Amino acid sequence: MRNDWEQTDNIPLIMAPSNSPLRYPIHGVQVKPLSTILLPGLQIDVSLPKYTVALEASLGTFDIQVNTPAIQINGRGEKRLEMITSDISVLNRILGKTTYTSTTYSIDSLDIVKFSMNQYLAHIPVSIRQPPIARLHDPGRDGNISSLVTIATKTFLRYDKLRELIRSIRLYYPDIQVIVADDNDKPEKIEDPNVEQYFMPFAKGWFAGRNLAVSQVTTKYFLWVDDDFLFTEETKIEKLVDVLEGTDLDVVGGNVAGNHFSITLLLEEGGDEGDCLHWEKGAYHQIEGFPNCVLCSGVVNFFLAHTERVLGVGFDPKLNRIGHTEFFIDGLGRLRVGSCDHVIIDHQKKIKPTDEKLLKLFRKYQSFRKKNSEEHRAKLELLHFKSRLSCFIKK
């Protein structure tokens, strides 16, 4: 039984033989499942009195598109095909008409075809892959940012902050859709025609709320914000869209009140005891064409992301109160992440309320936000287990 941590897309190391008379493709041969292709580039480049050439596959069969009496062919339609002749020109013509047929349905597999003659042996990687169906997004006819971006947030015990956030959004983006995941114990309806509010069980959790909010996004991108952020004239979503549209990034973070935070993650492969993950502040390098942006592994809680790609990673709902970097750890090797300092969102001032009702909610909220050693230990245990880590080092 395969463990969840085992990789299924390992690429085998193939060494090119020296002074080989076999000519063959070393990269780029791809076939759809249960389909047939011509094997390109097969040729013999040596003079011999007699040639015995074989092709052998694990996940497919071979055939020849032409018939000729000048060559002996064994194994047509089988996993091993053998050709015997003394005429190199006929042999090379037949090799040029040799087909490979995928016989096992798999959306992503690799067959290593053995191409041999006498003491010579070559390996041809054949990718069996079902291309995903195209997913197109309507960019809108008026160029309005709301056609491309939905704002998503999670709120808990601070409706005053949420309402202030939405008020600031409407100053700059009057029509943009806002999705709110809400796990308050006493829900209050947000009256705004462009706000979708989804109620959850009380204190269901931070990442569960993120999952819910993002799952309801129908636009190509979503902008994640905390419920106590504040839009200003420097909160230009369009600039972050330009970055995602102009690069292969999946997530791009911004600047929160001067905090242009980014991290790098390095996974050091270990033995039977597990791997070691190194966490460090900083970035890898600048992103070409975007001087204000760097390539990294994780960013702040203010980021624009490709909706479908983030949903492919998801947010672990076991992390109910403590968690942020864990999403980027889960996305390591799956999400391309950048951070830009020229798109800035503000943070609402942390002032202890004087109103008795708000003060009570504030104290209740603080009690939930307070980290204890047991929760922190449980978070680390979860991280070590599901990511198969023997150590997690922060610098």
Query: Nearest-5° angle of CA 382, CA 385, CA 386?
Result: 85
Can you give the pLDDT at residue 5?
Answer: 38
355/122: higher pLDDT: 122
Can you give the pLDDT at residue 125?
Answer: 95
Is there a single domain that holds both residue 179 and residue 98? no
Q: Does 155 reside within a domain? A: yes
Say how far apart CA 370 and CA 22 lie, in whole Å.
67
In tens, the pLDDT along 208-267 reads 999 999 999 999 999 999 999 999 999 999 999 999 999 999 999 999 998 888 999 999
Can you give the pLDDT at residue 55?
Answer: 98
Is there a single domain that holds both residue 29 and residue 167? no
CB atoms within 10 A of CB 185: 10
Is there a single domain that holds both residue 212 and residue 280? yes
Q: Does 135 reside within a domain? A: no
362: tokens are 């504030």
Q: Does 1 reside within a domain? A: no
Is there a single domain that holds both residue 108 and residue 154? no
Confidence of residue 4 (pLDDT cuts 50, 70, 90): very low
Q: Does 263 reside within a domain? A: yes
Is there a single domain that holds both residue 234 and residue 351? yes
3-state DSSP assignment of residue 214: helix
The stretch 313-341 carries a mean pLDDT of 89
Is there a single domain that holds both residue 92 and residue 151? no
Is there a single domain that holds both residue 99 and residue 152? no
Is there a single domain that holds both residue 252 and residue 280? yes
Q: Which residues of 14-46 are buried (b: 16+ CB within 10 A; e: fewer)?
A: eeeeeebebebbeeebebebeeeeebeebebee
pTM value is 0.82
Domain around 357: 145-394
- 7-11, 67-71, 380-384: which range is least confident on average? 7-11
- Among residues 67, 97, 129, the one where a domain terminates is 129
- Among residues 105, 129, 153, the one where a domain terminates is 129
Q: What percent of the chain has pLDDT over 70?
A: 89
Could you tell me the CATH number of the domain that includes residue 32? 2.60.40
Can you give the pLDDT at residue 230?
Answer: 97
The stretch 258-287 carries a mean pLDDT of 91
Could you tell me the CATH number of the domain that includes residue 341? 3.90.550.10
- Among residues 81, 96, 129, the one where a domain terminates is 129
- 75-79, 341-345, 373-377: which range is least confident on average? 373-377
Q: What percent of the chain has pLDDT over 90?
A: 69
Total domain count, the chain: 2
Q: What is the mean pLDDT of the chain?
A: 89
Can you give the pLDDT at residue 3?
Answer: 43
Confidence of residue 366 (pLDDT cuts 50, 70, 90): low
In tens, the pLDDT along 89-148 reads 999 999 999 999 999 999 999 999 999 999 999 999 999 999 988 887 777 666 689 999
Can you give the pLDDT at residue 217?
Answer: 97
The stretch 14-42 carries a mean pLDDT of 90
Please determine, for residue 83, whether its predicted confidence score (pLDDT) is greater than 80: yes
Confidence of residue 369 (pLDDT cuts 50, 70, 90): low
Q: Does 2 reside within a domain? A: no
Is there a single domain that holds both residue 122 and residue 154? no
Is there a single domain that holds both residue 116 and residue 166? no
Can you give the pLDDT at residue 48?
Answer: 94
Give CA torsion, residues 347, 350, 351, 357, to 10 deg: 100
53/387: higher pLDDT: 53
Confidence of residue 344 (pLDDT cuts 50, 70, 90): very high
Q: Does 13 reside within a domain? A: no
Query: Nearest-5° angle of CA 155, CA 156, CA 159?
Result: 75
Q: Does 10 reside within a domain? A: no
Q: Does 17 reside within a domain? A: no
Is there a single domain that holds both residue 151 and residue 237? yes
Confidence of residue 363 (pLDDT cuts 50, 70, 90): low
Is there a single domain that holds both residue 109 and residue 256? no
Q: HEC states along the chain?
A: CCCCCCCCCCCCCCCCCCCCCEECCCCCEEECCCCEEECCCCEECCCCCCEEEEEECCCEEEEECCCCCCCEEECCCECEEEEEECCHHHHHHHHCCEEEEECCCCCEEEEEEEEEECCEEEEEEEEEECCCCCCCCCCCCCCCHHHCEEEEEEECCCHHHHHHHHHHHHHHCCCCCEEEEECCCCCCCCCCCCEEEEECCCCCCHHHHHHHHHHCCCCCEEEECCCCEECCCCCCHHHHHHHHHHCCCCEEEEEECCECCEEEEEEECCCCCCEEEEEEECCCEEECCEEEEEEECEECCCEEEEHHHHHCCCCCCCCCCCCCHHHHHHCCCCCCEEEEEEEEEEECCCCCCCCHHHHHHHHHHHHHHCCCHHHHHHHHHHHHHHCCEEEEEEC
